[in-house]
Amino acid sequence: MSTLSTHILDISTGKPAEGVAVSLSREGETLANLVTNAQGRIATFSAAPLPAGRYCLTAETGAWFARAGRESVFTRAQIDFVVGEAA
């Protein structure tokens, strides 16, 4: 894997989710804390390739909805993935 990026859309409106806080962690250690841009994207979390290991990408969607004055049952979205080893 050369880079890691993310794209978050608000499916209720079909628009990009600007301003969502997203963190990347590896085996419990936080590697990056970034925020989605106006297109709902984070282009890359690191210029260097990710080393082998287990990772977690977490988007704080509940805080994003709250700032917009909207309720949601989704407090966060989390994706766990593996790089460079069998799942």
Question: Residue-wise over 15-25: b if at least 16 C-beta within 10 A, else e?
Answer: ebbeebebbbb
Q: In this predicted structure, what is the pLDDT of residue 85? A: 63
The total number of residues written for the chain in this structure: 87
pLDDT for 50: 86
Distance separating alpha carbons of residues 81 and 26, to the nearest angstrom: 10
| pTM, entire model | 0.87
* Residue 45 confidence (pLDDT): 85
Of 86, 82, 87, 84, nearest to 27 by C-alpha is: 82
Question: From first to last of its 87 residues, what are the pLDDT tens digits of the chain?
Answer: 457 899 999 988 999 999 999 999 998 899 999 999 999 999 988 777 888 899 999 999 999 999 999 998 989 999 999 988 644
